[in-house]
Chains A and B, each alone.
Chain A
């Protein structure tokens, strides 16, 4: 049974990396030809001879299947190739950005997820009353506002207007930190608004899921029993109800974590935060095949791993699931 599951994951993984390889190559255009540029920008446009030389240099002149073969071989060896546009090792590029993206998402899932779940529980407890209605309304609105709008609001209000937070970046440029604690504080300071923005976005989703799930559980007989036993509200809510309503919340949490790599794009753009989302957008824009493959591989890896973790956790949370 367990092997079957592992095999399933392996097959999924293989299909995805194959798609990763072929999809970018189906897109029209190649990594070297730029005819136009964005406003105010200048580009270098290469002649066909020069493009052919580049293609030979990056091995793109070989038949596609041969390229596919060396791509698979590379993956097995852990070699993701060399980025055409960025001119450096794909592994290094991704490795330098992952900590920024992952910590942003991890923190926002913890903060947003925690707050959302808590409020969802309270809302379910107060179901139909004024406070529930108000909270529900607010949360529906928050969950529907695009992340970048919330981000821009924070940027304008908290960073530009109040000057409490920095306008952009992941750390103070060219800072000379006296100690590692200073460095950490600076990174936290710069990451605060992006995290807050993502947390706000996460919170709405978690709230709605937690509330729904809790409402279902609250009507169960054992909750009535618990109430009849005279247990405290907190104990009923968090001990008896939440643990039984946790499945969808946990799914949501790991789903969000799986999105760590690409899901922060809009927030990264607003705050010029150094994450993988904006890198992915750029890689696709310039048709940097090795980098697109590398990033999508990382995304795949994250999603598959998170799914596997959820599978395992499900069984722990609800022994009825096989």
Chain B
């Protein structure tokens, strides 16, 4: 009896498997036939690697990862980041008063919200005021943790004036990227973090979110047909869950791949594919804690360490060639204000020994548990030992490492982050010891270091409104920093993005960011000028 029951069960299992298998094949075929976009009249659907980065409202996307870029598809701002610098967007022009305190923006007319209502100057005023009360996830309205806007005035139906407390070179950038949100949706909402309804996501940007699933990590954006600005070229953008990006790209499930450097030759010299090289705006740096290890306050010791790092080896073995050597003046080679004449420290063990005076040095190197950092640490350890610097590598999880760095509880630390293409004021955040620990991943993490000359110049550039003058200050600052090396930038990574131009080739990099999928220009028609 029992036996026959079990065999029945077994048969049932086998049958189910067969049915599932057949069902699977069936679904697959429909998927394929739906996915084909051979005909020209068919809407252009671009599929990209998804994953959950939060509900794309200015208040709810996650602080890590590409959540903000998805939110920006829905919401426009006064200015936009272009390929070379800031470009007019919702504001078609702007003026700055000579004292650098009044910013007047002239808005484009006939800008519509996704729900059909017209955008007004009042919406702009409301957005700024609302964000000051309810800060969004990416907040640019605070400098060193303090608000800098004094007041916002509506001048007429197309002009708005923003008065700031003191002149500051970063204000235009900060005001320009603030998302404009509709007053009629948000005015009665007191806790915007909890808003999770699709119908509240009314923006005036080129795309409307039609589908989002947190657990499955998928987003679907549809072009807004009444968009005021450059016409969307991509009709639908779908972010879908992807297990292995290379397999998904090869299978045609996604249309763009950040290709691992080891397999890049698969797509090279092949007309079917195009490869874009990203600017190197993500990087690793080595931090020195001069508070805990006074030896590191000796500039010769820091120089010795810099000479003991074989960056080329790190790039070859850890980054597999997809990186460039970082600048000892911090701003990376692709930064618009990069200074090529900074002091360089070539790999030279003998020189390192000489600088150390043949003293022995024992240090603990703190890293996170990422594979890359472990590899960097191992390679550093080998070369450092040759120069007489013994390092003990301590790996902890990312949050623990970040916390230790924040609390100056480390001797040496490796840290990796993005945003190296940001406004050059990041130099001040990183190197001017007078600044409170704050904003920006590069912010003040050099414990026990202060250099009056660097700090002064950092402050001076911040209030210099003449761009050329400011630029030359930044150049000088990089030189000073490279002579001092209060921390050692190691290398900046490059992404290689591969896609099929036959399907879509509008991908562009904006001036300060490394990913083509993160800026809305990639999905819109290019400027006609």
| A→B interface (CB under 8 Å) | 27-30, 32-50, 53, 57, 82, 85-88, 93, 96-97, 100, 111, 114, 118, 155-156, 159-160, 163-174, 185-186, 188-189, 192, 232, 234-235, 237-239, 270-272, 274, 279, 285-287
Contact = CB atoms under 8 A, between A and B. Distances in A.
Contacts of A169: 216, 218, 240-241, 243
B502 interface: no
Contact of A33 (B21, B403, B418, B513): B403
A49 B147 CA distance: 11
A29 B399 contact: yes
CB-based closest 8 A-B pairs: A234-B3, A47-B438, A29-B399, A47-B145, A168-B243, A49-B145, A42-B418, A35-B402
A246 B1 CA distance: 18
Contacts of B77: none
Interface in B360-376: 368, 370, 372
19 contacts: A33-B406, A34-B441, A35-B406, A35-B417, A35-B445, A36-B415, A41-B64, A41-B418, A50-B139, A53-B135, A86-B214, A87-B59, A170-B216, A173-B50, A173-B216, A174-B238, A188-B20, A235-B1, A235-B2
A285 B417 contact: no
B39 interface: no
Contacts of A27: 399-400
Nearest to A168: B243
B402 A36 contact: yes
Please classify the interface of chain A as helix (H, G, I), strand (E, B), loop, or mixed, using the class held by over half of its residues.
Answer: loop
A28 to B, nearest CB: 4
Interface in B246-290: 247-248, 250-251, 253, 258, 282
Given A43-B63, A47-B144, A274-B217, A28 B399 contact: yes
Given A36-B441, A40-B514, A173-B218, A287 B63 contact: no
B403 A30 contact: yes
A155 B243 contact: yes
B387 interface: no
Interface in B29-74: 31, 50-52, 54-55, 59-60, 62-66, 68
Given A40-B418, A173-B240, A285-B398, A118 B405 contact: no
B342 interface: no
B145 A50 contact: yes
Q: Which of A33, A37, A48, A173 has most chain B Cβ within 10 Å?
A: A173
Nearest to A111: B13
Contact of A185 (B23, B59, B66): B23
A272 B138 contact: no
A34 B62 CA distance: 12
B243 A167 contact: yes
A232 B3 CA distance: 10
A87 B405 contact: no
Nearest to B278: A40
A87 B406 contact: no
A169 B419 CA distance: 31
B231 interface: no
Contact of A164 (B21, B218, B406, B515): B21
B196 interface: yes
A173 B13 contact: no
Best-surrounded residue of A86, A87, A163, A232 (most CB of chain B within 10 A): A87
A69 B505 CA distance: 57
Contact of B145 (A42, A48, A164): A48
Contact of A171 (B25, B194, B216): B216
Interface residues of B, number: 92
A173 B26 CA distance: 16
Given A36-B415, A47-B145, A165-B24, 10 more contacts: A35-B405, A37-B64, A39-B416, A49-B146, A86-B214, A96-B215, A169-B218, A169-B240, A173-B240, A237-B3
A192 B25 CA distance: 12
A86 B31 CA distance: 31
A202 B90 CA distance: 58
A53 B397 CA distance: 25
Q: Which of A43, A50, A97, A274 neighbours the largest number of chain B CB atoms within 10 Å of its CB?
A: A43
A127 B26 CA distance: 43
B251 A167 contact: yes
Given A30-B403, A43-B417, A167 B215 contact: no
Contacts of B398: 36, 38, 285
B193 A239 contact: no
Nearest to B407: A28
B339 interface: no
A44 B216 contact: no
B397 A285 contact: yes
Interface string B516-527: 000000000000
A207 to B, nearest CB: 15
A38 to B, nearest CB: 7
Contact of A87 (B193, B244, B440): B193
A272 B241 contact: yes
Nearest to A232: B3
- Which of B66, B397, B399, B495 has most A Cβ within 10 Å? B399
Q: B1, B27, B137, B439 — which one has the most chain A CB atoms within 10 A of its CB?
A: B27
B390 to A, nearest CB: 25
B399 A88 contact: no
Interface string B206-247: 000001001111101000000000000000001011111001
Contacts of B438: 45-49
